[in-house]
Amino acid sequence: MTLALAATLTGVGVAVAPAGATAPAAYSATSALREVAAEPVARKRLSKAAKKARKQRKRLQTVATPPEPAPAPAVPSTPAEIAIAFARAQLGDPYGWGGSGPDVWDCSGLTMRAWEAAGVLLPRTTVQQYRATTPITAAQLLPGDLVFWASNPARPRTIHHVALYLGADRVLHAPNPERPVEEQMLTYNGTPAFFTRPGLVSG
């Protein structure tokens, strides 16, 4: 081996046998140079393989992660919420004069049973329900309050219809033989004449 070749091989980190020594048959200077030249290519391939593995792990984690469960519906807790929930469960039921459930309703039968479900007993008819509850103004209305229509707004004894106030200027009621239990705007049939609060209504 020449001195120049020995220096070249030594510079690239290849062990060179001393002068007069015999190199192993399976190893040569050419093989050493090929190995050194192949190192950058091998490192590049390993880097690509590592990146590919990381991407694959991320995809698997995304697929394996379950979606967040939907929040459970709120459970009615106040008397007013319970009364409204009961009345809403009757939406679509037919109207029947004198009906107080379980599948047929008139206006006062629906409000009586709704508040009964909340633990508050009301009389059967509209005028009786007005007299058994606490009068309030339209500005004081809260969900669960009772809303009354009358032939003469100055005379409670002329009350002929009652509905359950839902909030946001909407009521729920059993309107008449031609329509089932439904939600309507507060002023669907003109301005109500009277407003009352059954029991102790909370919010």
Helix (H, G, I), strand (E, B) or coil at 185: strand
Query: Per the residue annotation, which of 161, 162, 186, 194 is the catalytic one?
Result: 161
Residue 160 bears catalytic tag: no
Distances in whole angstroms, Cα of residue 124 to Cα of each of 115, 152, 159, 175:
12, 21, 13, 16
Of 80, 82, 84, 107, which residue is the catalytic one?
107
CA distances from 93 to 42, 104, 157, 179 (A): 77, 6, 28, 9
Catalytic residue among 141, 144, 166, 173: 173
- What's the rounded mean pLDDT across residues 46-68? 69
Q: What mean pLDDT do residues 41-48 have?
A: 68
pLDDT digits (tens, 9 = 90+) for 71-128: 766 787 899 999 999 999 999 999 999 999 999 999 999 999 999 999 999 999 999 9
Question: In this prediction, what percent of the chain has a pLDDT beyond 90?
Answer: 60
Of 32, 33, 36, the closest CA to residue 24 belongs to 32
- Edge-to-edge strand list for the sheet holding 146-150: 134-136, 194-197, 146-150, 159-167, 170-173, 182-185
173 classed as catalytic: yes
Please give the average per-residue pLDDT across 53-61, as a whole number.
Answer: 72
Nearest CA-CA partner of 145 in 106, 192, 195, 100: 195
Quote the mean pLDDT of the chain. 82
Q: Which residue has the tokens 């599948």?
A: 103
E strand or H helix that includes residue 172: strand 170-173
Lowest mean pLDDT among 64-68, 143-147, 182-186: 64-68
Percent of the chain residues topping a pLDDT of 70: 70
